Every structure is written in C-alpha cells, then in structure tokens.
Structure 1
Amino acid sequence: MKTVVITGISGTLGSALGQEYINRGWQVVGVTRQETLEGNFFNTLCVSQQQTLEDAQKLLEYDPDVIILNAGQIETEVGDGGVPLVEIVESMNRVNYSWPALVALEAAKLKRERPLDVVAIGSIADGSPSCFGPLYHSGKIPLHYYWSGVGPIVYHASNHQIPMRLYRPGVISGPLAWAPVNRLNQKGYKIRANRVNSAPPAEKVAKTIASWIEKNQEWVGTYDEPFSFKIFKYVSSLLCSPIYLTNYSCLDGIGAAN
C-alpha cells in the first residue's frame, strides 16, 4: 500500500485530499498543528508545529511515496483600513514558505530506491499579488520561485528519485475564499463574489490534484483560470499601482478619489 503525507489535513483542501487518497486505497498520514482531530479522511494523525528540521524529519520517517505540502495560512483578520496585522507576518511566512522549503531540503538528503514525489500546493487565491490577501500572497510567491529554482537541482542530485513539483489550485469555494470585507470597495466585492461563487468545491479540486500527481508528467500544474478573471487582474494591477493611487483605488480609505 502506498503512503501519502498531507500537511494542513484539517483544512478545506487538506481534508478533501485526504478523503480522495483514502478512496484510492492509500495510507494517509494527516499532519496538523491541532492537538486532536477526528475524521475519516486520514489513517494516521501526525501532530506537528511544522517549524523545525526535526519536524521535517518526522514526516520522512513515515517513508511516504508522496508528500503534499498543503498547509497554508490566510489572513482572516486585519487591522484598521484592512492593513495586515504585524503579529501574523512571521507565522504566515513560515507556514506558507519557509517550512515547506525545509521539508524539501531534508527530503533531498535521502537515498531512495523508489521515487518520493514532493508536491507543494501553491496559491489558492489566483496566483498574483492583490488586495484580496497580500500576506498570503507574500508567502506563496517565494514558494513558487523556490520550487522552480531548487526543484530541478534536487531532482538531478537525487538520481531522478525526488521530483519537487508545484500545483496552483486557484480559488476553492468556501469561507476562506473571501477577503476581509474592509479590504474591498463595493465594486471589488461584487467582482470577487462572481469569482468565488463559481469556484469549484474542494472535492473536485482534490481529485484534479491527485490525478495530476499520478500522471507524473508536469513540473508545474495550474487551474484553468477564466479569461475574464485574467483581464480583471491585469486591469486591477494597473489601477492599483502607485502611479494611479491618487485617482483610483481598489482599497477603501487609501488613495480613493471621491
């Protein structure tokens, strides 16, 4: 029986991934920072703070065939004017980027007789900086660069036994797909509503990711972003640039012209 280790097992996508692999007959090791967790979407629970090299080594002791580094932190609370809270910056960067990087480097030390697929889950918030979740993006963007830069080195240094791959699932329907309301003006809120309300459920996304991993063909996978949303991102980036902030704003209370 094959084994998959999934971080962030308690979350929307993590639990759906766990259930998908259970359905496929895999042994699922769910990793969480919670002291206790109940559910039918894992076989073994690994409680880990996901901070240190020792924490990373603990995951590898399960001798997995696949590690899915899915854990991520999204800012669900902000300060005045929608400004990110200082207290969550370090925690978010660690969970979203630095600790997954440690896991990859520890995996690279292994001498494997069979492949270990190390898959990082990239941005679930459309993949580019925006007012919807700036701290979340600030952690996920270096994750994307790290995987594309270090991944090929690890792959060749391990005799092709440890591929590091990245999947960007895009928006998933659910409460975490919403930005804090005080970050969006009325127009931005309506645009976001259209995107979130049409987003696929976690179960569908998990099935897509598991199938993509199984095919073992691409280094980077991504969701099929609607053309209309691509246009929106380009336009919003232009209008929210510093040059135009005195006349336009997608943020309430910052440079908005009345």
Structure 2
Amino acid sequence: MNAFRRRGFAMVMLHVLVVKMKRLICECNKGEFRCQNQHCIHQSWECDGDNDCLDGSDEHANCTYSSCQAEFWQCANHKCIPNSWRCDGNDDCDDGSDEKDCAQAQKDMGTGHALCPKGQYQCLSGQCIDEKKVCDRNYDCQDRSDESTQCFIDECAQADKPLCEQKCVDLPIGYRCDCFEGFAIDMDDKKSCHNVNECYEGISGCSQTCEDKIGSYKCGCVDGYQLARDDHSCKRIDPAVTIVKHTLSVFMPSHMQLASQFVS
C-alpha cells in the first residue's frame, strides 16, 4: 500500500513539473502577441493586415482596420497600395485583389474608358485588342488607331534630347517613360520621377522598423529582435538558455523505481 501511495505521489509531482514546463515554453515576452500555433510575434503586428503568425491568428475577427489615404487603394487583406498600382499586372496586394475586375473597376484618366487588361492595347475609342496586333499592317481597332503613322518609329532613340527623366520605353505606337526601382513616375507630366517613400506607403515589407532612403529603404528591428537573412523580417533574440535538470526519485522496489528529467 505504501509503495502504491509513493508511486501516486510521484506521478502527481511529475504532472506538476510537466505543466510548469509547458507554461514556460508557451509564454511570450512583454510586448509580444502569442499566436495560436504558440509562436511569439511583436505586439504591433496584431491586426496589421499581414499574416505574421503564419496561421492567421494575429488577424482575428476582432481586428479593426483603418481605411487607406486618398492616394492609396485598399486591398482585400486591408493592405494599402498606391492607386497607380491597381491593375498594373503585378500582384502588389499579395492576395491578387488589386488585379481583379480591372476592365470594369478602373477608369482611364482623361478619357473615361476602361483600361485594357495586361497584354492588350487600348484603341483611341476605348476598344481593347491584342497588343501583338498593333502595327501589323491590319486595322484591328474599329477607329483604325492601331495603324498609326507612329508605327515603326523609335522615339526614344531618335530624340535629340531625353524624353524621360530616367527610362524611355519604346512602344509599337509612341513611347512610355518609366523609373528605376525605388522611384515612381510623376502622374502630372508622366515623364519625371520622384522618390518613393516605401516606409510611409507601407510597401517596404519591413516587419518592424523602416528607414527611407533615396531610391531605397532600410529595415530595422526593435530591441530584443535582430534582422533576419532576408533583410526584412525580424526574429527574436532568445536569452541565454539555462539548462536545469529536475530529478525526481522515489524509493520503491528496484523494478518500480521512477526517475524523470526535464530540461527548461
């Protein structure tokens, strides 16, 4: 009977130790949010529109999201992107919502016609045709604007002076100005470029802090975190791990002696 009681006491003590160890493993530091998968993320990442927990638990049903500023478009995942990135052929929202229903959703500034999908050319009338049919010596636009006198002319190469501040892209008809990475085209003259503040616009991908630079940006981390190899995300700096061995021995017959070790 005494041996049975001792064994029962030993099992209770083991259970207590296991519970304590689980609590130590699952607790996050002050200023952190604990995900359902037991990962710890910075508190400011909760309800920020990004799936930082990787299981979606930081973007829960109780989250409230503020609307984007006037010059930005709000994605389905609540991320804000510049209006000019809507329907540009790139998945800037990371959920594809900025590239959906483009023909109906976005209007061409100045003409009121719907913009054509990527890979198509917009006739002066607003009609959309395959861009490969432009300047093919066949009239595919009903208004015949796809066979312009500008066909087969490289305006960028023939210009006496630069037509664009940074990059000139020759098109089948006319040309388009573009900018280097970290810059955006001026929507007024469509020729000059201005620095993009990736930090302010929320498009840097930095998980914690962001410092804007001309044509670029630099990610950083708050105290207790360090920058990961991708130069964007931050990982927690764990304190030095202390190994403690808890040994519980109960004197029983040799074939029933119970000992267990835990490491925290």
TM over 0.5, yes or no? Answer: no
Higher relative contact order (CA 8 A, sep 6+): 1
- Between Structure 1 and Structure 2, which shows a larger proportion of helix residues? 1
- Between Structure 1 and Structure 2, which shows a larger proportion of strand residues? 2
TM range (shorter): under 0.3
State the TM-score, normalizing by the size of structure 2: 0.21
Which structure has the larger Rg over C-alpha atoms?
Answer: 2
State the TM-score, normalizing by the size of structure 1: 0.22
